[in-house]
Structure 1
């Protein structure tokens, strides 16, 4: 899989995130994916728990995500984004370090906020 293919998948995933449609969002993850977000102090194992994260921090806060950059690194993609929504800051930067499978499914995400 090329960096261009991975970047395209990440762009599609961000677009899916902004629809707030859980089925579309979750389709990008493997069944056993892990999402680790130190900014909320939790690790979310599997699609059901990742859905809890999505509902809590994206749907419930009407969060919109704008893709700023994608940088291929040794074993993952480093993605910088900007979040806007109905949360205290109103606008805040964030990062995702994403590991994908050969068939372009998200296996692991480390998400964090830039404060």
Structure 2
């Protein structure tokens, strides 16, 4: 499977997200991670803001993420995903750019296509 070439932390992120496992989701990030979330127009800094974001947009909307495609360039992974959930339209294409450091997500850029 092509997903097997993804770094473990990215697969852990997707799996934790789909399981709505807040603890596992947060464990994929460094202590001072930032999510640059262009679709909501703000940056989420640190685990408390990231936790609130995850529970609001993934847990409460019962969002599930399917990987469409991705590229890897050293420690940066660009990814297109399909979000399905209980939100207007029920599915939408998302864009992720993971920046990794020490086997964790240091920065995540997120947007909608």
Question: When the two structures are superposed, what TM-score results if normalisation uses the length of structure 2?
Answer: 0.90
Partner of 1:40: 40
Shift of 1:44: 0.2
Of 39-48 and 75-84, the range deviating more from structure 2: 75-84
Question: What value does the CA root-mean-square deviation take over the aligned residues?
Answer: 1.6
CA distance in 2, matches of 1:75, 1:22: 24
Q: Distance in 1 between matches of 2:59 and 2:88?
A: 15
Find the residue that maps to 1:12 and give its secondary structure.
helix
Inter-partner Cα distance in structure 2 for 1:10 and 1:19:
14
Unaligned runs of 5+ in 2: none
- CA distances 1:29-86 after superposition (whole Å, capped 9, x unpaired): 0010000111011100001110011011001101000112220136611011100000
2:91 corresponds to 1:105: no
Name the SS of the counterpart of 1:56 in structure 2. Answer: helix
Map of 1:54 onto structure 2: 54
Q: Which runs of 5+ in 1 are unaligned?
A: none
Number of positions where the alignment pairs a residue of Structure 1 with one of Structure 2? 110
Residue 23 of structure 1 is matched in structure 2 by 23
Q: SS at the partner of 1:70?
A: strand
SS at 1:54 equivalent: helix
Residue 75 and residue 25 in structure 1: after superposition, are their counterparts in 2 closer, same or farther (change >3 A)?
closer
